[in-house]
Amino acid sequence: MAGITWHYVFKFIITGDPAVGKSSLLVRLTDQRFLANPDPTLGVEFGSKLITIPEDNKVVKLQCWDTAGQETFRAITRSYYRGAAGCLLVYDVTSRDSFEHLRTWLADVRKHADPHVSCILVGNKVDLCDEPTPSGASAPPTSSNSPNTSSSASSIIKSSKSSASPSKVKRRSREVSYEEAELWAKQEGLLFVEASAKSGLNVEQAFVDASRDILEKIKKGVFDDDRSPGVKQSLPNSALVDGSAVKSTCCA
């Protein structure tokens, strides 16, 4: 209930096949811990987090709605696409199927969501296969911190991440290569990052990248029309008592 400490509120949805680690990503983001054996999400769950976009010196509050991956909840989760400013499309790098299915998920998002929604493709669970990658050339790259908002698809690649624990309980082989996913992301105009909810690698980065993209759109005036509930700007002095304050949405 303290004073408002953010400049914008962005609504995010996290979507993708069951058991690719959507809830774990969210818990990693909000609580900085790894949710080991979560129950399947029912419908949708909510979490939030403040992040800073250093280049713009803006604090953004992320309101994340973690949707259920199971088919039975598909109808419900669709309701969340509308009104979201950002969307995380999550797949499991060790599951080919989860990657293939993203086409349908993306089609869903395209169909139901705001046309301006910023999507980022997230390959989760890289911790399971962080030894040699099929691509051979480099370890799984991580997206860098440098500003990279104008070109939506390509992230600057920087090799890192060799500090993973040597003994994994269960290592599974990678089924989706970094290059392939990156290529597809480029084709579809998505941001892309590989992440691990277990180690925390790139999790926040994924949200930061997407937020940066949304901020860029805000600067261009995309969200100026009063319709999108996914982006909200804090008002000076945050006229809290006045209920109408919450009505106004962002402006550049």
> How many angstroms from the chain centroid is the CA of residue 132?
26
Asked if 200 interacts with other proteins (CB under 8 A), we say no
- CB nearer to other proteins: give 97 or 242: 242
- CB nearer to other proteins: give 65 or 178: 65
Query: Residues 137, 156, 183, 245: which binds other proteins (CB under 8 A)?
Result: 245
- As a whole number of angstroms, the distance between CA 59 and CA 80 comes to 24
**Cβ atoms < 10 Å from Cβ of 224:** 13
- CB nearer to other proteins: give 14 or 195: 14
Contact string 222-241 vs other proteins (x = CB under 8 A): -------x--------x-xx
Asked if 43 interacts with other proteins (CB under 8 A), we say yes
- As a whole number of angstroms, the distance between CA 129 and CA 222 comes to 39
Asked if 61 interacts with other proteins (CB under 8 A), we say yes
Query: Residues 45, 108, 180, 188: which binds other proteins (CB under 8 A)?
Result: 45
Query: Residues 48, 52, 70, 135: which binds other proteins (CB under 8 A)?
Result: 48
Asked if 46 interacts with other proteins (CB under 8 A), we say yes
Q: Name the segment binding other proteins (CB under 8 A); options: 79-87, 132-140, 148-156, 159-167.
A: 79-87
Asked if 244 interacts with other proteins (CB under 8 A), we say yes
Query: Residues 1, 71, 163, 225: which binds other proteins (CB under 8 A)?
Result: 1
80, 69 Cβ separation under 8 angstroms: no
**Beta bridge partner(s), residue 91:** 123
Binders of other proteins among residues 89 to 128 (CB under 8 A) are 112
Catalog residues that contact other proteins under the rule CB under 8 A: 1, 4, 11, 43-48, 61, 63, 65, 75-76, 79-80, 82-83, 112, 229, 238, 240-247
